[in-house]
Amino acid sequence: MKILVPVKRVIDYNVKPRVKADGSGVDLANVKMSMNPFDEIAVEEAIRIKEAGKAEEIIAVSIGPAKAQETLRTALAMGADRAILVETDDEVEPLAVAKILKAVAEEEQPGLIMLGKQAIDDDSNQTGQMLAALMGRPQGTFANTVEVEGDSVTVKREVDGGLQTVKLTLPAIVTTDLRLNEPRYASLPNIMKAKKKPLDTKSPAHFGVDTAPRLTTTNVSEPPVRQAGEKVEDVDALVAKIKALGIA
Amino acid sequence: MKTLVWVEHDNKNLADATLAAVTAAGKLGEVHLLVAGANCRAVADEAAKIAGVGKVHLADDAAYENALAENVAPLIAELMADHDAFVAPATTTGKNVAPRVAALLDVMQISDILSVEGEKSFTRPIYAGNAIATVESSDAKLVITVRGTAFEKAATEGGSGAVEEVSGPTDAGLSSFVSEEIAESDRPELTSAKVIVSGGRALKDSETFEQVITPLADKLGAGIGASRAAVDAGYVPNDYQVGQTGKIVAPEVYIAIGISGAIQHLAGMKDSKTIIAINKDEDAPIFQVADIGLVADLFKAVPELTEKL
Ligand SMILES: Cc1cc2nc3c(=O)[nH]c(=O)nc-3n(C[C@H](O)[C@H](O)[C@H](O)COP(=O)(O)OP(=O)(O)OC[C@H]3O[C@@H](n4cnc5c(N)ncnc54)[C@H](O)[C@@H]3O)c2cc1C
Ligand SMILES: Nc1ncnc2c1ncn2[C@@H]1O[C@H](COP(=O)(O)O)[C@@H](O)[C@H]1O
């Protein structure tokens, strides 16, 4: 079985995003970029499934600018076998990303496609579900545990009330939640090796996908800023404040 | 515009999260509801009483019992032939189902809306709520998920919608429900609690968390939340997590204890009316958003606070 892992290049999670003064978006010039954290978890899980002898090949794919090569090299250094960059400088919305991924999947025929549950830039939380719909495949979203067995995969999902377990027929789509695993760091020798692993570059047009956006962003603004309040001296002062709030 | 709102429920009772979605849908036009489940007529009857509701579509079939997206999305896509917008609460069920519907309809979903600005224009948070985008859809139909804290809850009484049975595609045969571990608790649910006491990594382990946080929460009749660090370390279950990728809460009072205030955590609670923080580090970022801060060792301060309240 092959596993396809879509990885997105996003603002590093440690960076506080700055909104541009003209309301056109978030300033990404000279900002540290990294692999979307949920996608690291997806790569890690794919590697663990391969290490358990349940998959033969891991293919990382990214849709984005030439620089997304770095993200793919990170996936290769972690342990993916090869990578595909679908290169475009346009912003591609989840629906179009899903259409491109479907086309890639039709060429590669993976048994499992493992995505992040959410990209931390657009916070859409859509792509995996959309891909599953377009391909007519089952979906195990917000995965906490993934167990591949024979021709099915059992996914324990993080849901609002706790955990839910579903069983999906392979081929299937899984999206990762935070507690699925702790991604490994790439070792230096593996980073060197990753430079020699195959990385193909294609274009959205190659897959015949129209990436024209359906949503227009007319403005991006800062959220209302919360002012820091006051510090109280001791517990007695805090007790008084809480009582004044009328909750005790 | 005719909207179709996803009713969140457990086949017995209607979940609160539905009510904010109804309010959001009401800003777009006529409000129709969908109750999909198994033996869930009682939910449809309850839903019909929500103020402002027109029709309630009841799809009662074993295939819909656990709201598996593979089974309910095709049903919704069919019903969308007669509706202009599908509106779901941004719960884990809504987030699981709605994008699948959107793709079947070939439209982009608008996730987690904060406001309705026009017929096809909405605001939504991006970058963990560090920016608010106004987006306008050019799609023929809308698929929207609604942030529960951003809209008033519709009244649960006063409506007189008509319940109409509908049927749709049955089991897609792609997936099956195995089991569920849903915690039973008398505590208020995080997304509707008036007061939340939340603990972070500083709480050491699950026993300590329980000993320090629970008595204070009991005293205040509060819901209990946690940072990701506390959940990852196993102090509390995953459904306690507040933040960008956990639950979004906006209680009257949010008390953060031993939580540093990472942007991903703030994303989930900074719309709380009053924020109280207890942290031993006076420079902890949580104090930048806290209305009331106490710099102290929580292991001393919290038990003392609980006692004095
Ligand atoms: C993709 C992604 C998604 C994420 N999503 C979320 C999310 O949804 N929610 C979330 O919370 N986090 C999330 N995080 C994690 C986030 O970045 C932080 O790591 C996390 O919030 C830190 O939790 P914490 O504040 O409990 O721990 P820490 O940052 O370690 O803070 C502990 C605090 O306790 C204080 N302290 C220690 N001892 C005491 C004492 N005795 N008395 C008083 N104070 C004490 C310290 O001063 C410190 O401020 C996410 C991260 C990533 C990468
Ligand atoms: N441009 C992209 N390239 C590769 N994968 C992507 C891209 N956009 C989204 N994804 C995948 O889809 C997941 C969810 O993204 P989103 O729906 O945008 O929140 C991410 O975690 C990635 O796994």
Q: Do B132 and A226 touch (CB under 8 A)?
A: no
Residue ranges covered by each domain of chain A: 2-244
Confidence of residue B184 (pLDDT cuts 50, 70, 90): confident
Strands B162-165 and B55-60: parallel
Phi and psi at B177, nearest 5°, equal -80, 135
Q: What is the pLDDT of residue B185?
A: 83
Side-by-side strand order, sheet with B292-295: A230-232, B292-295, B274-279, B253-257, B195-199, B223-226
- pLDDT, one tens digit per residue, over A87-121 is 999 999 999 999 999 999 999 999 999 999 999 99
Strands A82-87 and A57-64: parallel
- Looking at the domain that runs over A2-244, which CATH code has it been given? 3.40.50.620
Confidence of residue A14 (pLDDT cuts 50, 70, 90): very high
Pair B248, B268: CB distance under 8 Å: yes
Question: Which positions ≥6 away from A21 have C-beta within 8 Å?
Answer: none
Share of chain B above pLDDT 90, in %: 96
pTM of the shown model: 0.97
Using the predicted structure, report yes or no on whether residue A40 has a pLDDT greater than 90: yes
Average per-residue pLDDT for chain B: 97
Mean local confidence (pLDDT), A199-224:
96
Residues with CB under 6 A from ligand 1: A 13, 37, 120; B 200-202, 227-230, 241-246, 258-260, 262, 264-265, 268, 279-281, 284, 297-299
Question: Chain B window 85-144: which residues touch A at a Cβ cutoff of 8 Å?
Answer: 91-93, 95-104, 106-112, 121, 125-139
Residue of A nearest to B73 (CA): A133
Q: What is the pLDDT of residue A228?
A: 87
DSSP B161: P
Region for residue B39 given its phi and psi (left: phi exceeds 0; alpha: psi -120 to 50; beta: otherwise): left
Q: What is the pLDDT of residue A129?
A: 98
Residue of A nearest to B77 (CA): A133
Mean local confidence (pLDDT), B220-246:
96
- pLDDT, one tens digit per residue, over B56-102 is 999 999 999 999 999 999 999 999 999 999 999 999 999 999 999 99
Amino acid at A1: M
Confidence of residue A74 (pLDDT cuts 50, 70, 90): very high
Q: Do A26 and B232 touch (CB under 8 A)?
A: no
**How far, CA to CA in Å, does B73 sit from each of A68, A160, A247, B9, B105?**
33, 20, 42, 16, 10
Q: Is the CB of A115 under 6 A from ligand 2?
A: yes
B298-308 vs B206-220: helix axis angle to the nearest 10? 30
Mutate to test the interface with B, among A123, A145, A179 (most CBs of B within 10 A): A123
- Alpha carbons B192 and B175: distance in angstroms, whole number: 31
- Alpha carbons A213 and A197: distance in angstroms, whole number: 33
- Alpha carbons A204 and A98: distance in angstroms, whole number: 12
- pLDDT, one tens digit per residue, over A118-138 is 999 999 999 999 999 999 999
Q: What is the pLDDT of residue A155?
A: 98
CB atoms within 10 A of CB B242: 29
Question: Does the predicted interface ipTM exceed a cut of 0.95?
Answer: yes
Q: What is the pLDDT of residue B186?
A: 85
B-chain residues near A162 (CB < 8 A): 180-183, 237-239
Mean local confidence (pLDDT), B184-213:
95
Q: What is the pLDDT of residue B237?
A: 95
Mean local confidence (pLDDT), B269-278:
97
Side-by-side strand order, sheet with B121-126: A215-221, B131-137, B121-126, B115-118
Minimal CA separation from A50 to chain B, in Å: 23
**If residue B121 lies in a helix (H) or strand (E), which one and from where to where?**
strand B121-126
Q: What is the pLDDT of residue B284?
A: 98
Instruction: Give me ligand 2 centre to Cα A175, in Å.
Output: 10
3-state secondary structure (DSSP) of residue A26: strand
Using the predicted structure, report yes or no on whether residue B219 has a pLDDT greater than 90: yes
Phi and psi at A110, nearest 5°, equal -70, 150
- Alpha carbons B254 and B224: distance in angstroms, whole number: 10
Question: Which two tokens mark B32?
Answer: 């129709």
Whether A163 contacts chain B with CB within 8 A: yes
Using the predicted structure, report yes or no on whether residue B183 has a pLDDT greater than 90: no
